[in-house]
Amino acid sequence: QQQVKQSPQSLIVQKGGISIINCAYENTAFDYFPWYQQFPGKGPALLIAIRPDVSEKKEGRFTISFNKSAKQFSLHIMDSQPGDSATYFCAANTNAGKSTFGDGTTLTVKP
């Protein structure tokens, strides 16, 4: 049973555009929702995260929007840059720290 569904699988955006990646979860026990960024040949690295008691969190060009009732959350990358080209994973954590990851989205930002 896939507990975290991520879409789209791949995304191509022009430089300066907005990249949007969506995730949906099923288990209401999840209490922490991180997004990871992974470059080729590297391990995933935390980008931004949110707890379900807030609806939005912004850090620079990256924003998480969270809809608790719909059990959905999304990552928005404003003013996308070629250096943002990477694979992005959403995840959902239990309070024990166990993470369930989405399948990933490969983002390509064209110059």
Partner 1 sequence: DAGVIQSPRHEVTEMGQEVTLRCKPISGHNSLFWYRQTMMRGLELLIYFNNNVPIDDSGMPEDRFSAKMPNASFSTLKIQPSEPRDSAVYFCASRSTGSSYNEQFFGPGTRLTVL
Footprint on this chain of partner 1 (rule: CB under 8 A): 32, 34, 36, 41-46, 49, 89, 93, 95-104
Q: Coil, helix or strand for 82?
A: helix
Beta bridge partners of 38: 87
Select 80 or 105, whichever has its Cβ closest to partner 1: 105
Select 30 or 109, whichever has its Cβ closest to partner 1: 30
Select 74 or 88, whichever has its Cβ closest to partner 1: 88
Q: Shortest gap between Cβ of 82 and partner 1 (angstroms)?
A: 23
Q: Shortest gap between Cβ of 67 and partner 1 (angstroms)?
A: 20
CA dist list (Å): 26 to 29, 35, 43, 64, 72 = 9, 17, 26, 18, 9
Q: Shortest gap between Cβ of 109 and partner 1 (angstroms)?
A: 22
Structure tokens at 102: 């989405």
Residue in the block written with tokens 């990552």: 75
